[in-house]
Amino acid sequence: MNELKKYQMYINGEWSDSSSGEYFESYNPATEEAWCQVAKGNAEDVERAVQAAHQAFLSSGWANMTFTERGRLVRRLGELIAEHSEGLAKVESLDNGKLIREMRGQVNYLPEFFYYYAGLADKIHGRTLPIDKKEMFAFTSKEPLGVIAAITPWNSPLYLTTLKLAPALVAGNTIVIKPSEVSSASLLELVKLVEEAGFPPGVVNVVTGFGMPVGDTLTSHPLVRRVAFTGGSESARHIVQNSAQNFAQVTLELGGKSPNIVFEDANPDNAAMGIIAGIFGASGQSCVAGSRAFLHVDIYDEVMKKLVDRVSKIKIGDPFLDDTEMGPLATKAQLERVEKFVAIGLDEGGKLVIGGQRPKHLDKGWYFEPTIFEHSDNLSRITKEEIFGPVLSVIPFKDEEEVIQLANSTDYGLAAGIWVSDIGKAHRVAKAIRAGIVWVNTYRSISPIAAIGGSGLSGYGREGGYEAIHDYMQDKVVWVNTSSDPIPDPFIMR
């Protein structure tokens, strides 16, 4: 058997094994076979990486570069990603099973995020304060925080790292990234480009390995100033507890149970396509998966028929073929989780309309059929809990008030889709839905200019967009006494 490709970790500008010398295997979900080995980091490696990032922050000159210079480097990184997009897309598809078509689109778009934040670099500034004391001149300046810890899940490692990396770097921070143990390879390929772009050693570090101990040690490290986390609620709870140790600021981008609402005046073809994009794109392994479709009773049968017609034709199989529409799930555990939820759905009285099993024509790979359940209400576990797989719950509704109540009856609050022609209704419902992102007559649209994030079990904070760069900075207020008069009574505040 050929020896598997080995990925080392990247600390202080050098590629290295973990201090234990151990490696773990990463699997191709389409073949169920290990295709590479990744260095298995531990607490000692985290210590090395955080110290390297801290030293780079203090003494590499990085934090004191002008914003313009940092912006130029971040832009260069974006350009290198554009040049190497095909290779990056292939590695990510191989590692997490996402369609090569989708990955090409995603990686080709990633540079825009680097360009966006590079462009913001010299447009973020402090202000002078109109202080109410004549002799004082005061101003604010924007300063970086220090060491940032970035932790990402398996489903979109490059995109979700980019949302953290680009603003953190432009702001002048240094960073330690821990990718998911399921799909670390594409980030390690990207880090080669960080090296090529010419960032000082220690500014970007990657420690590969598992949540315990790598993620845990990293997020509780006393030198970490901010944790940017994307992943599940359970891991997020640990991270928030860890932040009680180091008082790191935390951003949590977690999961969802997002509603896709179709009103009676919607374009039924577009609505059906939007629902499919929302739940079967990326085989449902998307934080913004529109896993609950609410169809108005007057349009229910028509949209349901279109859904079932199209879903029955979804081409499921090899993610590297250009005409494949759904690839495998990323792990065996995820496949079993989806199967468990389908069994729960059946137990709780959901009507299985299509799918519900592993596809018969594929004897290898962690594939699951696109699956649709019909429910009369919003009360079963599969309409409440995040599945993170290709399982859609369809529920009828009669009016605007009812659907707002149904859509909001979830502990999550990440995304929502509304399919409607009446513009007034579109605005009313968009306002009433508890979600960080609302798409009207579209779904899964992204841009560096628009932030993502949620509330409740979906987490807190926002990533992307103009606001996000401020999360990676802090304000300093500088007071200057312009008077040469003697200092008066030192025992009272001035």
Q: Which residues pair with 280 in a beta bridge?
A: none
Residue position matching structure tokens 């209704």? 425
> Does the protein bind ligand NAD through residue 157 (CB under 6 A)?
no
> Does the protein bind ligand NAD through residue 224 (CB under 6 A)?
no
Nearest Cα neighbor of 227 from 213, 212, 209, 245 is: 245
Number of residues that bind ligand NAD (CB under 6 A): 29
Q: Which of 367, 388, 439, 472 binds ligand NAD (CB under 6 A)?
A: 388
- Own/partner pairs, 338-341, CB within 8 angstroms, 24+ separation: 338/284, 338/368, 338/387, 338/388, 338/389, 338/390, 338/391, 339/368, 341/381, 341/382, 341/385, 341/387, 341/389, 341/391
Residue 36 annotated in active site: no
Q: Which of 232, 359, 456, 465 binds ligand NAD (CB under 6 A)?
A: 232
Q: Which of 84, 238, 384, 444 binds ligand NAD (CB under 6 A)?
A: 238
Q: Per-residue contact track with ligand NAD, 275 to 294, x per CB under 6 A?
A: ------------x-------
Cβ atoms of 353 and 374 within 8 Å: the answer is yes
> Does the protein bind ligand NAD through residue 39 (CB under 6 A)?
no
Q: Which is nearer to ligand NAD, 26 or 60 (CB)?
A: 26
Binding to ligand NAD (CB under 6 A) within 398-417 occurs at 414
Distance of closest approach, residue 391 Cβ to ligand NAD, in angstroms: 14
Distance of closest approach, residue 2 Cβ to ligand NAD, in angstroms: 28
Binding to ligand NAD (CB under 6 A) within 193-212 occurs at 210-212
Q: Which residues pair with 354 in a beta bridge?
A: 372
> Does the protein bind ligand NAD through residue 181 (CB under 6 A)?
yes
CA-angle at 33, arms to 28 and 37, nearest 5°? 75
CA distance 26 to 41: 14
476: left (phi over 0), alpha (psi -120 to 50) or beta: beta
Strands 391-397, 128-129: pairing kind: unpaired
> Does the protein bind ligand NAD through residue 178 (CB under 6 A)?
yes
Q: Which of 144, 172, 202, 231 binds ligand NAD (CB under 6 A)?
A: 231
Stretch that binds ligand NAD, among 4-12, 36-44, 78-86, 228-236 (CB under 6 A): 228-236
Q: Which is nearer to ligand NAD, 60 or 334 (CB)?
A: 334
Q: What is the DSSP letter of 122?
A: G
Q: Which is nearer to ligand NAD, 115 or 154 (CB)?
A: 154
> Does the protein bind ligand NAD through residue 180 (CB under 6 A)?
yes
Distance of closest approach, residue 189 Cβ to ligand NAD, in angstroms: 17
Nearest Cα neighbor of 260 from 452, 462, 457, 441 is: 441
CA distance 355 to 367: 12
> Does the protein bind ligand NAD through residue 42 (CB under 6 A)?
no
> Does the protein bind ligand NAD through residue 154 (CB under 6 A)?
yes
Q: Which of 92, 102, 189, 253 is catalytic?
A: 253
Q: Which is nearer to ligand NAD, 245 or 312 (CB)?
A: 245
> Does the protein bind ligand NAD through residue 119 (CB under 6 A)?
no
Instruction: Using only the alpha carbons of the chain, give its radius of gyration.
Output: 24
CA distance 69 to 56: 16
Q: What are phi and psi of 35, to 5 degrees?
A: -120, -15
Q: Which of 36, 189, 287, 369 is catalytic?
A: 287
Distance of closest approach, residue 152 Cβ to ligand NAD, in angstroms: 6
CA distance 266 to 149: 43
Site residues for ligand NAD per CB under 6 A = 151-155, 160, 178, 180-181, 210-212, 215-216, 219, 230-232, 235, 238-239, 253-255, 287, 386, 388, 414, 452
